[in-house]
Structure formats: C-alpha cells, structure tokens
Structure 1
C-alpha cells in the first residue's frame, strides 16, 4: 500500500491510498477558489441525560443529493473540479468541508471514498479494495487517536437516502470525538457490571461464546470472525461482527483477521442486498465500527466489533423510530432475531 498526503485549496488534508506501492501521486492541483472552512461547532453537555450534544448550525448549507454529474466525490475532470483533484483514485480520505466536529478541542470529521465509481457500492468491491479500505480505516484511527483532544475514533458508512445520506457516491465517514460516545459508555458500564457479577469475566467474550453455543442466531462463522444477530436486536435485520480474538480497536487486529475480513464483510453486505429480493432497491444500512476509547483505563475490557443494520423491515416498509424509540429509547422490533438470522443464512452466496 502507498499513502500520499496533500492539501486542498482551502488547506484541508487529502490522503490517497493505493494498492500499488510504486504509485506516484503529484501534489493536489485544486483550482477552486475555496474560502477557509468556517464552522460553528459547539459541544454542549446535557445535565439530565449526561450526554454530549454537538451543535453545528453551519451544516445546514451542506451539499444535498446533487445529480451524479455534479457529485463532489467523483474524480475531477476538465472544467469540473471536485473534492478529489485527480482523474482517478482507489481510496481517498479528506477532511469534511462541512464537519460536525472541528477545531483543536472539538475533534475532526473525515470523508472516506471507497471507489471512484459513482454507481458502485461497497458490496461490489473486490477483496483487494475492501482490504485497502480496512487499511485506510486503521491508518486514520492511528493518526486521529494521536491528536491530543481525541478520545474515540468512529468509522462508519451510511448507505441509502432512507438512512439520511446526502451524497450518493459510495463513501463513509470517520468521526474523531473529543469525548467518549454515550453508547460506548453504556457498553463499558455493562462490561464492568458483568465483571463484578462473574468474578472478572469479560462481557464481550461471554456474549460471543453464548451465541456460538446457542447457534440459532449465528449468520456466518469464519476462522477469525463471527457474525450473529444479537439476542435483543434493536433493528429488523442487525448483525454484529466480532474478531475471534478480542482486541480493543482496529490497530490491534492481527494479520490473519485482516486477511479474512474482506471475504466475510463483503459476504454480509451482499446478503443484506438479497434479504428482500433482487427486485427491490439496494438495502439501506448503517455499518459502524465500535472501537475502545483512547486514553481510557477501561479500553482493554472493550471488544472491537462492527454493527451492521438496516431500517427496512419488509419490501417497501421502513422501521421508523417513533414514540417509544425516540421518546423513551425503548426499541420495538417486528422481526424476531432468530427469523432474521435464518433469512440471512438463506441468502448466502452459492
């Protein structure tokens, strides 16, 4: 792999990742007259719930569902400069022009472009390209974790307008939080309580072992990864993917797990696209890496894992977060987890 860092017209960092280590990329020639990025990011603490909330009013003006010919994530072409000032690329990462988090004390937001092909998807990538994306996620995690203000690095992909995607090009994002996310805090608290109840046993290890023993919700069991629908799944179709050897973050994955990841992950994504039948639009989903917070004494008790879920519950029907979910955070799932796992096994690749 070769990594090439450069700057865009407004000073934001752009990084190319290429499979061929001999590729030479020239410094960016970004002709756009861009003003410096101006943000209004403010982090406010909710004293009642204990959550941190990001106020980012400048994002109201961000690009919203442009046509393919005006996509800012496609390669640049004569007369049409984009965020990627190159005629082609493999994987590119750059600082978000409309970041939710920005500034020395407020973290950082980056965009990860998985491919230059506007009409592709992550599921359509080959193993080598998926491995390159994993390498980019890992590299960015290391770089962002080294920033003094960053406590946690979150790599994720939103796919589909139903999820709220504002750009159709295959891409994901990375948020470097200056705090530990509320969901992670809850996981860590649950892990501590489990250890206290069981004489020091690890919650994540016991959860994965229990799913293996039960077997009904296991979707895919590979040599170095396990994918299952959780016992108390929140979403109609939800899969959690864990490396067999517990590690706190992407940086700690061994070579065997890295080598196997593309086959496992691409298979899961392709199954998601087949859940509802081939006559349906591509399945909208969120794919989220959960990594241990940095600078935290609890990180060794955490387990790196990926959570993949869709808001579609049936053909033409979405799972909306209505009164119980949005008002009280009590999820009501219409699809039994065992049924979801069975369906995900049925649509396995031949």
Structure 2
C-alpha cells in the first residue's frame, strides 16, 4: 500500500453525559448544545439476565422492560429528529449521533441474577454488555442508499471508534454494529439509524466465525473470485459469497485483512463507504422497490485480532420483488437453510443491475 493509501484520518467524538447517566457522542459537525431537562431526576433502572439453553447450548437474554419501548411513532414525533420535544437529540442539526439505548438489552452494570425458583440447577448469568443507537443523519428521510459519500466515510470511522472504545472495557468480548432496514426487518423507528451491541461473552455466530478464521479460512481471498464479485474497487469488493443462506446476499470485504474499521486507511474507508451505498442501491434497483435487509458489521472479537477480518454482510429479506424470504420451519428447527438460487447465479443477476 502506498504512503497516500495508508494515510488514516483520526475521528474523535464530542462527548456529553445525559441526565439519566447515559453517554452521548456526536461525530462530525453539529449545531446547538444538547440539553435534556425532561430526563432530570430520572432514576428508573431495569436489568436483563441470561439463561442457558441446554439444547441449543447458547445463552438467551431476557429483557422484560423492553416491552414498553417506543413503537412506530408518527414522523412528527420521531425521537431521533432534531428539535422534537423530549427527543433523544435536542440539537438544531447534526451529522452522526451515538447514545446508549434507553431500552437496552444489555447493561454494563447488570447484576448476577438469583437462581430461578424451582429450577435452581438452570445456569443463569448477568447480561453484562452495552447497547447503543447510532443515527446516520438528522434527515428523517435519508437512508444508507442516499447518504453522501463523506457521511458514509464518517459512519465507517464512527463504527471503528465505537468498536475500539467498547472493546477497551475489560468485560467486553465482542462488538456488533448492525442495521435493520424496513418494517419487514423489525424496524419500529423509521429515522435512518443502526445499533451497536457489545457483549461480555462470545455469541454463538461470532464464536463460530472466529474459530473458522483461527483455523485458516481466508475471507479476503473471495475478493479475487470473479464469478462472485459484483462490484470491484481498488481496496475492497462487494460480492455474493459462495455459501449464502439468504438469496442475493451481498458482502463488502476489504482486500487487506483488517480486524476493525478503525484500522482501515483513508483509501480503504472510501472504498468500503462507496460499496455500502452500492449494495443498498443495487437491491432497490434489482427488486424495483425499497428492499428490507439486515446489515451486519463484523469486527474481530477480543483475542482474535490477528485472524478475524472486518467485513459487512447484507442479508436481504426478499427473493423476488413480490416474495419475502421467510425463515422456514426446517431453517428454524434444524438450522439447515434452503436457498432457491445459486450464489453464482445471484452474483450474475446483481452484476447486471445498473445503479
């Protein structure tokens, strides 16, 4: 990589403390000084806990307090819009805002739960972790597909900064930024945003991926497989992996193995940011409608920095313009996914899309 390509622009947020104890970070430019007088004196705290699922051999997190979280408010009362009464972002304008989720599934100070009455032998554990909301824009109608390149670059850098900061907490083992797009993907607030979860344990999917990379699987090698590459850039590629579980999956993979976005050069950040919009726009053009998807931002969990490559996975929830990809009984019950289109065929279809 040339000297210019290896240049890395640091990003540092402006940090505030909300009256209820939550952290609030602003990346990029903003107008105004945030104040939350409606949160003064708020002391309501609820905690989650984990129970061990003996048959699946994985932890399940229980957060009963989340049943009362905000659900599909009118656009005029969106708590993520600037200037909305009693909103989360009391500013005139902002670029990217990150703050602790008011209805968090995981808490940094979650206590050890008491045994379950009558099931004292059932393993239980604290749900130590952290859940943040990351808002991409002050514009309620923006999306990953419409954000300007500079904003998407700032988003990639903000992901990197939050991943690094959260993994600096001794208890945290893995961090997963993600976005649910569309009501079919479970969205209850339509303002453009994602979430960032930090875990004090390795969730099963991240653990399985980490073990695969430790055993030598080379994800970056897929960026050179032309039958699967949909869009190629100098430092990253957008591709359909040869082992998709959802029809028309797209992954954004840097060509150089990097554990986290904060380790990317400016040139790599630019290419990743370009391909983020390319993926969203490709889906919308291919399906002829706004495509619901889940976007997963994978970075190396603690202890796997030397083997785990940062990359981004898009899992679309459509298999045609009028047909949803529902997770079927055999997929839920057996974990064996059924896909109706070959990955190489999907890659060819998506390569032909004009965006």
TM-score strictly above 0.5: yes
Q: CA deviation at 1:210?
A: 5.0
1:81 matched to 2:91? no
Local SS of the residue matching 1:330: coil
Unaligned segments of structure 1, at least 5 residues: 196-201
- Aligned pair partner of 1:4 in 14, 18, 21: 14
Once the two structures are superposed, residues 189-248 of structure 1 have per-residue CA deviations (whole angstroms, 9 ceiling, x without a partner) of: 3334xx4xxxxxx312xx4435624x2221112110022111121001101221111112
CA contact under 8 A between 1:74 and 1:117: conserved in structure 2? yes
Counterpart of 2:117 in structure 1 is: none
Task: Determine which of 285, 300, 307 is the counterpart of 1:292.
Answer: 300
Task: Provide the residue aligned with 1:328 in structure 2.
Answer: 334
1:64 aligns with 2:74: no
Q: Which has the larger share of helix? A: 1
Cα distance between partner residues in 1 of 2:327 and 2:21: 39
Task: Report the secondary structure of 1:263's partner residue.
Answer: helix
Q: Is the 8 A contact 1:104 1:149 kept in 2?
A: no
Deviation at 1:69? 0.8
Q: TM-score, normalised by structure 1?
A: 0.88
Does residue 141 (structure 1) correspond to residue 152 (structure 2)? The answer is no
1:209–1:135 distance in 2 versus 1, CA, 3 Å: closer
Contact between 1:37 and 1:97, CA under 8 Å: does it hold in 2? no
Give the structure-2-normalised TM-score.
Answer: 0.87
Corresponding residue for residue 110 of structure 1: 132
For residues 81 and 267 of structure 1, the distance between their equivalents in structure 2, rounded to whole angstroms, comes to 35
SS in 2 for 1:86: coil
Residue 14 of structure 1, CA deviation: 1.1
CA contact (8 A) 2:166 2:172 kept: yes
Shift of 1:339: 2.3
Are 2:38 and 1:32 equivalent residues in the alignment?
yes
Secondary structure class of the residue paired with 1:301: coil
Question: Is the aligned partner of 1:98 residue 2:103?
Answer: yes
Contact 2:32 2:93 in 1 (8 A): no
Q: Is 1:16 paired with 2:21?
A: no
For 2:291 and 2:79, the matched residues in 1 are separated by 23
1:167 counterpart (175, 184, 189): 189
CA contact (8 A) 1:229 1:240 kept: yes
Aligned to 1:198: none
